[in-house]
Amino acid sequence: MAENHREGEAAKTFDVRILRQAGPGQASYWERHRVSYEPDMNVISVLQKIAAHPRTADGQDVTPVAWDCNCLEEVCGSCTMVINGRVRQACSALVDRLLEQHPDEIELRPASTFPVVRDLVVDRGRLFQALKKVTAWVAVDGYYDRGEGPPQSQEEQEQLYPLSHCMSCGCCLEACPQYARVELTRGVDESPEEFVQRQAETYDRLFLGPHAISQVILFNSHPTGRHMSSLRLDALIAEGGIQLCGNAQNCVAVCPKDIPLTTSIARAGRAATVHALRKWFDV
């Protein structure tokens, strides 16, 4: 940790290097900030400090850095960013630990697999589009009272609960070598609705990602959810489906919620094959 001695008083500081970008299509650039150290800081509190005093290490006044966050306890999935080269939630990235790994400096970058909105804020719409593609919901008849839900064994619950923990943070997608970045821009003569439609269609053709594959297993294992399993498997074997997984298994390694993504992928792979065979030979 750098120690800046000023007239006898020792103020511990450390540097934060942030990859900034003013908006889509603009050039990105690195900016260095110097932050005074306090115990128990995490990357969010660092960014809060920078927002309160947006001045670079060499004393230039700049606009505050933009970033996403909400719950600050790693359940909302907002604050995904690449910290010291690795994607994670900023709220649970404790400064003490980061400085143990890389003394003096913390490096922050936006997730590279999603289009940058501004600075550390990215557009993760594609991630949610995949949830639509795989019908990630239980299609109940309606919301009137119809008594209890189907009974479930403890064992079933213990299998479903971890899968249901996915907070759509996008860490798995950032680390996945098969999930290529795509950035669309609205055409001059395109209405916002048309653009959204084109975006959805494009996303649907690209790899849907481990998070969505895992949701298929979640809902296909649910006693009522499984009624629509063939529809979900159709999505898995469509273009951009499970076949694009390359088994690098980075997803499971970076998942902040320890979701057994690769187990889901293997199970989904099996189900998808059986489903495809059945479609060719049984129907």
Q: Is 182 in the site for other proteins (CB under 8 A)?
A: no
Which member of 106, 175, 208, 255 binds other proteins (CB under 8 A)? 175
Q: Are 192 and 270 in contact (CB under 8 A)?
A: no
Which of the residues 55 through 94 are near other proteins (CB under 8 A)? 61, 63-64, 66-78, 82, 85-87, 91-92, 94
Which of the residues 117 through 136 are near other proteins (CB under 8 A)? 117-119, 121, 124, 128, 131-133, 135-136
Q: Are 84 and 101 in contact (CB under 8 A)?
A: yes
Residue 184 phi/psi, 5° resolution?
-105, 150
Which member of 58, 247, 282, 283 binds other proteins (CB under 8 A)? 247
Q: Is 100 in the site for other proteins (CB under 8 A)?
A: no
Q: CA dihedral defined by 190, 194, 196, 197, rounded to 10 degrees? A: -140
Which member of 14, 216, 220, 234 binds other proteins (CB under 8 A)? 234
Nearer Cβ to other proteins, position 158 or 183?
158
**CA–CA gap between residue 273 and residue 263 (Å, rounded):** 16
Which member of 10, 60, 151, 281 binds other proteins (CB under 8 A)? 151
**CA–CA gap between residue 16 and residue 32 (Å, rounded):** 6
Q: How far is the CB of 27 from other proteins (least distance, A)?
A: 15
Residue 6 is encoded by which pair of tokens?
Answer: 């000023």
Q: Strands 86-89 and 28-36: what pairing?
A: unpaired
Nearer Cβ to other proteins, position 57 or 94?
94
Reported as type and span, the H/E element at residue 6 is strand 2-6
Which member of 13, 54, 182, 195 binds other proteins (CB under 8 A)? 54
Residue 251 is encoded by which pair of tokens?
Answer: 């997803």
The total number of residues shown for the chain amounts to: 283
> Residues touching other proteins: how many (CB under 8 A)?
116
User: What distance lies between CA 280 and its chain's CA centroid?
Assistant: 35
Which member of 99, 108, 111, 268 binds other proteins (CB under 8 A)? 268
Q: How far is the CB of 55 from other proteins (least distance, A)?
A: 9
